[in-house]
Amino acid sequence: MFGDLQERELIREFVRQLTAKYGRAYWVERAKSKGHLDEIWHELGKAGYLGVTVPEEYGGSGTSMTRLAILMEELCTQGVPLLFLVITTAMAAIPIARHGNEELKQRYLPAIADGSKKFCFAVTEPDAGSNSFNIRTFAKQEGDYYVIKGQKVFISGYDQAQHVLLVARTTPADQVKEKRHGISLLVVDTNAPGLSAHPMDTQIFAPERQFALYFDEVRVPRANLVGEEGRGFRALFDALNAERITVAAMAVGLGRFALQKAVEYAKVRKVFDKPIGAYQGLAHPMAIARTHLELASLMTHYAAHVFDAGQDAGMYANMAKYAGAEAGIEAVDIAIEVHGGSGFTGEVDVITVWPMARLLRTVPVAREMILNYVAEHVLGLPRSY
């Protein structure tokens, strides 16, 4: 079910070798300076790992969420999370590969695979939040162009990307029979006239910054439409499910990174003449955290397996994201506790993991919305909102 175990180990070994060169210290330095992770990104591109979600005929190695999950999980286990693996390799490449026309595939997929182009993904709006169908950004057709007006927020890495995969309405919400209709996806160049961006003051320890985007009569060729006009929800769901799976892998890896630090410290730090790892008050929570991380990892890889099989992965992707985020937070929390007061210092480098681990409970979809989804769509309970 989980593919070739030898291939999995080859991916993990490649990541370990890469992070021996561009490791946690490299990532922390870039996070502090808000610098870019270009070196490791280009190394991944040269080795073919940015093409794991790109079909072979466009320079990739075949669409595989499983490979991407392994790659992300191991990078984070080594303390080097790469957010662009979520927003470019998962959220942009997969919708274009599955739903884009031939021109779009030829134009963008080879550049995604070799790492020469990055995408950001724009769906969230100030007044829409978790309700993606309530977005107001509108793309009006005028001849061979769409003219876009609206606003997006919490757009990761806009300053590093060359393109935005934009989710917009092409039919007003009050003119469609089903709320999911009238949604379209468009590729917009980040330097398009009328598109402006402002950094948001988010306090997350990471190299990638968050932006608010403003579309003021931005003109985009109709050829940049991904999929059918007004039927973009299919491509959107593919992007969101891929996002959830990759984020779940990220959370698991971050939890493993922090927990391993705690284990190493608990073996050598002595209190009352014994290593603190010998005391069940710390040993049991660490053992539980590791168990929960492994369970979340299994759920993540199963979700990727279902996604790769072309089946509806919504249930499993949401469950994986929930399990990964909760396990990651649990592991980071016990890691801080094991280190005591020193756990709050930058030198130990555990508290630095907490903001991102905690963020992943809330984004890209809040745990409460996942539980609503499971209650309604899996258990068949009445809708609560």
SS3 per-residue string spanning the chain = CCCCHHHHHHHHHHHHHHHHHCCHHHHHHHHHHCCCCHHHHHHHHHCCHHHCCCCHHHCCCCCCHHHHHHHHHHHHHCCCCCCHHHHHHHCCHHHHHHHCCHHHHHHHHHHHHHCCCCEEEECCCCCCCCCHHHCCCEEEEECCEEEEEEEEEEEECHHHCCEEEEEEECCCHHHCCCCCCCEEEEEEECCCCCEEEEECCCCCCCCCCEEEEEEEEEEEEHHHEECCCCECHHHHHHHHHHHHHHHHHHHHHHHHHHHHHHHHHHHHCEECCEEHHHCHHHHHHHHHHHHHHHHHHHHHHHHHHHHHCCCCCHHHHHHHHHHHHHHHHHHHHHHHHHHHHHHHCCCCCCHHHHHHHHHHHHCCCCHHHHHHHHHHHHCCCCCCC
Tell me if 367 sits within 8 A of 349, measured CB to CB: no
CATH 2.40.110.10 fits 119-230, yes or no: yes
- Could you report the per-residue pLDDT of 30-44, keeping only the tens digit for each? 999 989 999 999 999
Give mean pLDDT, residues 163-186.
93
* Domain boundaries, given as residue ranges, for the chain: 5-114, 119-230, 234-378
Tell me the average pLDDT of the chain: 95
Confidence of residue 180 (pLDDT cuts 50, 70, 90): confident
**pLDDT at residue 174, as a whole number:** 87
Asked whether the predicted pLDDT for residue 1 surpasses 70, the reply is no
Length of the chain: 385
**pLDDT at residue 385, as a whole number:** 80
For the record, the structure tokens of 174 come out as 């009050």
pTM (2 decimals)? 0.95
Asked whether the predicted pLDDT for residue 128 surpasses 90, the reply is no
- Give the torsion through C-alpha atoms of 215, 219, 222, 228, to 10 deg: 10
How far, in Å, CA of 140 to CA of 147, rounded?
5
Query: What percentage of the chain has pLDDT greater than the value 70?
Result: 98
- Could you report the per-residue pLDDT of 43-95, keeping only the tens digit for each? 999 999 999 999 999 999 888 999 999 999 999 999 999 999 999 999 999 99
Asked whether the predicted pLDDT for residue 173 surpasses 90, the reply is no
Asked whether the predicted pLDDT for residue 221 surpasses 60, the reply is yes
**pLDDT at residue 104, as a whole number:** 97
217 vs 149, 184, 198, CA distance in Å? 5, 17, 17
CA 45 to chain centre: 18
Give mean pLDDT, residues 153-179.
94
**pLDDT at residue 2, as a whole number:** 58
Asked whether the predicted pLDDT for residue 373 surpasses 80, the reply is yes
Asked whether the predicted pLDDT for residue 101 surpasses 70, the reply is yes
Between β-strands 119-122 and 163-169, what pairing exists: parallel, antiparallel or unpaired? parallel
For the record, the structure tokens of 245 come out as 């799976």
**pLDDT at residue 197, as a whole number:** 97
151-169 in b/e form (b: 16+ CB < 10 A) is bbbbbbbbebbebbbbbbb
Asked whether the predicted pLDDT for residue 214 surpasses 80, the reply is yes
Asked whether the predicted pLDDT for residue 369 surpasses 80, the reply is yes
Query: What percentage of the chain has pLDDT greater than the value 90?
Result: 91
CATH number for the region 234-378 comes to 1.20.140.10
Domain 5-114 class in CATH: mainly alpha
- Could you report the per-residue pLDDT of 323-356, keeping only the tens digit for each? 999 999 999 999 999 999 999 999 999 999 999 9
